[in-house]
Amino acid sequence: MDHNKLALPVGTTLDRFIMRKQEDFPYATGELSQLLRDIALAAKIVNREINRSGLIDIAGAYGNRNVQGEEQQKLDVIANIRFIRALRNGGEVCTIISEEDEEMIQTGNVQGKYVVAIDPLDGSSNIDVNVSIGTIFSIYRRVSATGTEGTAQDCMQTGTNQVAAGYVIYGSSTMMVYTTGNGVNGFTYEPSLGEFFLSHPQITSPKTGSVYSVNEGSSDHFSEAMAGYIAHCKQQGYSARYIGSLVADFHRNLLKGGIYIYPATQKNPAGKLRLMYECNALAFIVEQAGGKSSDGRNRTMELEPKGLHDRCPLFIGSTELVEKAEEFMAREFTDATAEALK
């Protein structure tokens, strides 16, 4: 009898995977690896809080509104505290910017080499109804000198400067998906062992798909070009799939193929999603998986932020679907230019 069959391998843990990848870079000093571990630790704690939210009094509205003008849920506040605390205690981050906070958060770690932009809990409206929610993060190297507090210049870099980005999805299983610019890997949380295990190595997103994800409840406020693209999707027989949690919609389309859209509307002419906390991170991930992300005209990661809480339209997912959407949006800008020249 093969005794190995009595105790099959459990797989590669996130910690071991990070350590092995660090060994691929002879000049790596370990700070980024530790930072990723700090994020994973906070994600485990937040996962625990989410799973017991119906049993203790941490569900529902907190009673405040965040800087975006959105009503904060109690778990929004808890997740924000957990991630900030983990990043501060880890010592690798000099400054944090969070979707939940108006100003930069100085950690006191003036020797820290990194800046983190984070949406601690995406999909707040779904928290109380047991629908998948998530965390989104971006990591940048600081550009200011170490030994001082982080600056606005450190925080407002273009997405092309990201050294790592990822998300955690809290759903039927909890997964952490991240990239450091060498492909995308996904890890599933095994709660009985308290570890993330590699479950989705080298994720490659399909070049095309048959799913479009957009809030059609806002269709009366879409531009003609946007309405035209949605009509095109229907004519092609695409399926509409919209969860209302960005991480959940993005994750499905990343694995299965499809496009997620949050366009500019009459109500939100600059778009609604945040460039620094949501769009840049997911754009980095999708490009590393072979997909594409833009605001309808320009590559998302090349957009220049002017403020910590800038918003932008988002067209993200399978390359062919995003490029077709850009064709429709290009007509809008051509028509607007012709009208201006009359």
292 plus 244 within the same structural domain: yes
Is 198 labelled a binding residue? no
270 plus 144 within the same structural domain: no
In a domain, 206, yes or no: no
In a domain, 189, yes or no: yes
Choose the final residue of a domain: 149, 173, 200.
Answer: 200
User: What pLDDT shows up at residue 21?
Assistant: 83
Q: 176: Cβ–Cβ under 8 A, 6 or more apart, which residues?
A: 14, 39, 40, 43, 166, 167, 168, 186, 187, 189, 196
User: What pLDDT shows up at residue 163?
Assistant: 95
Instruction: Specify whether the CB–CB gap between 256 and 322 falls below 8 A.
Output: no
In a domain, 137, yes or no: yes
State how many domains the chain has: 2
CA dihedral (306, 311, 312, 314) positive or negative: positive
Distance, in Å, from the CA atom of 5 to the CA atom of 303, rounded to the nearest integer, reads 52
In a domain, 226, yes or no: yes
Radius of gyration of the chain (CA): 20
| DSSP per-residue letters across 128-165 | GGT--EEEEEEEEE--SPTTS---HHHHS--GGGEEEE
Q: Give me 278's structure tokens.
A: 């949501």
pLDDT digits (tens, 9 = 90+) for 150-179: 999 999 999 999 999 999 999 989 999 999
188 plus 225 within the same structural domain: no
Sole residue written with tokens 């403020």: 307
User: What pLDDT shows up at residue 62?
Assistant: 47
Choose the final residue of a domain: 200, 229, 251.
Answer: 200
Distance, in Å, from the CA atom of 89 to the CA atom of 35, rounded to the nearest integer, reads 10
Domain that holds residue 40: 10-200
Is 342 labelled a binding residue? no
**H helices, E strands: number in the chain:** 8, 17
User: What pLDDT shows up at residue 73?
Assistant: 77
Is 125 labelled a binding residue? yes
Q: 334: Cβ–Cβ under 8 A, 6 or more apart, which residues?
A: none
Which of the 8 DSSP states describes residue 278? I
Residues of the chain with pLDDT under 50: 1, 58, 60, 62-63, 337-338, 340-342
292 plus 333 within the same structural domain: yes
119: left (phi over 0), alpha (psi -120 to 50) or beta: beta
255 plus 157 within the same structural domain: no
User: What pLDDT shows up at residue 22?
Assistant: 79
249 plus 295 within the same structural domain: yes
In a domain, 205, yes or no: no
User: What pLDDT shows up at residue 34?
Assistant: 93
Q: 268: Cβ–Cβ under 8 A, 6 or more apart, which residues?
A: 311
Q: Kindly give the interhelix angle for 14-23 and 31-51, rounded to the nearest 10 degrees.
A: 160
**Length of the chain, in residues:** 342
195 plus 321 within the same structural domain: no
In a domain, 154, yes or no: yes
User: What pLDDT shows up at residue 124?
Assistant: 73
Is 36 labelled a binding residue? no
136 plus 282 within the same structural domain: no
Choose the final residue of a domain: 200, 234, 266.
Answer: 200
Which of the 8 DSSP states describes residue 276? I
Please state the φ and ψ torsions of residue 198, each to the nearest 5 degrees.
Answer: -60, 115
CATH number at residue 33: 3.30.540.10
40 plus 133 within the same structural domain: yes
34 plus 179 within the same structural domain: yes
What is this structure's pTM?
Answer: 0.91
Distance, in Å, from the CA atom of 118 to the CA atom of 83, rounded to the nearest integer, reads 9
Is 119 labelled a binding residue? yes
| DSSP per-residue letters across 67-129 | TTSPEEEHHHHHHHHHHHHHHHHHS-EEEEEETT-SS-EE-S-TT--EEEEEEEEE-GGGGGG
* Furthest CA-CA distance within the chain: 84
In a domain, 302, yes or no: yes
Instruction: Specify whether the CB–CB gap between 136 and 119 falls below 8 A.
Output: yes
Give the residue from 188, 214, 179, 208 showing the smallest Cα distance to 287: 179
User: What pLDDT shows up at residue 74?
Assistant: 83
Is 53 labelled a binding residue? no
CATH number at residue 252: 3.40.190.80
81 plus 193 within the same structural domain: yes
User: What pLDDT shows up at residue 4?
Assistant: 59
CA distances from 9 to 13, 170, 290 (A): 11, 25, 31
Is 123 labelled a binding residue? yes
Tally of CA atoms within 13 A in the half-sphere of 243 that contains its CB: 24
227 plus 317 within the same structural domain: yes
In a domain, 2, yes or no: no
